[in-house]
A = this chain, B = another copy of it.
Amino acid sequence: MTKNYSSEINSPLSTNQEDYLKAIYILETRGDQVTNSVLSEYLGYTPASATNMVKKLAQMDLVIYRRHQAVALTPTGRRVALEILRHHRLLELFLHKTLNIPWDSVHEEAERLEHVISEALEDAIAASLGYPKVDPHGDPIPSKNGDVIHTPGHPLSQSEAGRAYRLVRVLSQEKDRLAYLRGLGLHLNAELFLHEQAPFDGPMLVEVAGEEHALAADMAALLQVVPASAE
């Protein structure tokens, strides 16, 4: 298994190490301060375990660590994280398009597969999909050299009522939430019409595929949309 980042790194990374780097990247991208508690909670480990691992990653020059400070990725660490994320999102799209696995249930599978596919397989998957730019949740697929496109859109919860929108991204990986959203007929690029938004952050009334549904405000906040006219 030859990994893309192998040229920059002396020893191959474990699944766990890759998961830490990916988590740090995602938390950084969210704009969070990646403190030990945030990181350990995100990964489901105790803070002590996170400290240990972060120290190890720092020795490998993958993260910058100073006691009691937020962790940050080094350029090399970021490259590793992006490669794993590229694997993850390519795999999600591949599973969805090639094997008809519903878009709301590809995440867990990709979570394991992302660590074991070779560079050659990554390339073959990307080629077979026509070098896609986003996964089935609308998350951008990092390019091989680590570029991440900016995805447009704004939350449905902050959108004007009485207009049609197109779903361009879903900001959640929670299985049951995604299943619920799919149950409403939602999927990437689905059209939806926002009938009204109840005041005081109340539920929204949306129409998807001819059916009307009430949608809680926190759910609507996860849905990134653009005006339906926009191509």
Contacts and interface: CB of A to CB of B under 8 A. Distances in A.
Contacts of A118: 108-109
B113 A99 contact: no
Contacts of A108: 1, 118
Contact of A113 (B98, B101, B113, B128): B113
Contacts of A98: 98, 128
A121 B107 CA distance: 12
A101 to B, nearest CB: 6
Contacts of A95: 121, 124
A101 B118 CA distance: 12
Contacts of A109: 117-118, 120-121
Interface in A151-195: none
A66 interface: no
Interface in A92-127: 95, 98-101, 105, 108-109, 112-113, 115-118, 120-121, 124-125
A124 B101 contact: yes
Contact of A120 (B101, B112, B120): B101
Nearest to A123: B99
A72 to B, nearest CB: 30
Contacts of A120: 101, 105, 109
A113 B115 CA distance: 9
Nearest to A113: B116
A172 B63 CA distance: 43
21 contacts: A1-B112, A95-B124, A98-B128, A99-B121, A99-B124, A99-B125, A99-B128, A101-B120, A101-B121, A101-B124, A105-B120, A109-B117, A109-B118, A109-B120, A112-B116, A112-B117, A113-B113, A113-B116, A113-B117, A115-B116, A116-B116
List the 4 shortest-distance A-B pairs measured between CB atoms, nearest first. A112-B116, A99-B124, A109-B121, A99-B128
